[in-house]
Structure 1
């Protein structure tokens, strides 16, 4: 597993500004949180979804590729960081 935290720099009101994902070995999202400028947090996993968030249907690019675009800044985070965010923001998490 890999856990990534990506900031997205843009002016689109309806799009998230932060994406935090748990990725499998093929880089498909297993769980994802999307943070919006207005404070809303969307969540998605195989067990449910909230606030219009859904899992991607293609593998997530490597962090080097993500960071090659000036609109994004991503980093790997420890599993514990992801789990704490998931516990706080995923309404359907067990």
Structure 2
């Protein structure tokens, strides 16, 4: 497994600014934690389910090639590998929302 931290500098309230991801040997995402500026945190994959929210394509070998889904948006985006220990610390502390993002609206 490999782990990464992506930081996205922007002002959008409905997009995460920090993303912690776990990827398998094929560089496919298996778990992710997202942090939003309004204090909300979401986690996907593993025992938390909702694997459909995970990135479907493998991460690029060179993380400098990684861009957010909204590639035309403004702001700086960077990604770097992190230690397993840091990922697990974030994963274990993340607040679980089993109903996902849309649960905020119902």
TM-score scaled to structure 1, two decimals? 0.80
Contact 2:28–2:59 under 8 Å retained in 1: yes
Task: Quote the Cα distance in structure 1 between the aligned partners of 2:45 and 2:95.
Answer: 9
Cα distance in 2 between the residues matched to 1:3 and 1:65: 16
The question of 1:86 aligning with 2:85 is answered: no
Q: Looking at secondary structure, tell me which structure has more helix per residue.
A: 2
Aligned CA RMSD, in angstroms, stands at 2.5
Segments of 4+ moved more than 3 angstroms = none
- Which of the two has higher C-alpha Rg? 2
* Residues 83/6 of structure 1: CA separation in 2 closer, same or farther (3 Å cut): same
SS in 1 for 2:19: strand
**CA deviation digits over 1:5-39, x for unaligned, max 9?**
01012222200001100011111111100000011
Q: After TM superposition, give the deviation of residue 58 of structure 1 in Å.
A: 1.2
CA displacement, residues 29-78 of structure 1 (integer Å, 9 cap, x when unaligned): 1110000001111100043358xx921111123313138x8721111111
Match of 2:6 in 1: 6
- Matched residue SS, 1:47: helix
TM-score, normalization by structure 2: 0.72
Unpaired segments of 5 or more residues in structure 1? none
Correspondence for 1:16: 16
Q: Is the 8 A contact 1:43 1:54 kept in 2?
A: no
CA contact (8 A) 1:42 1:49 kept: no
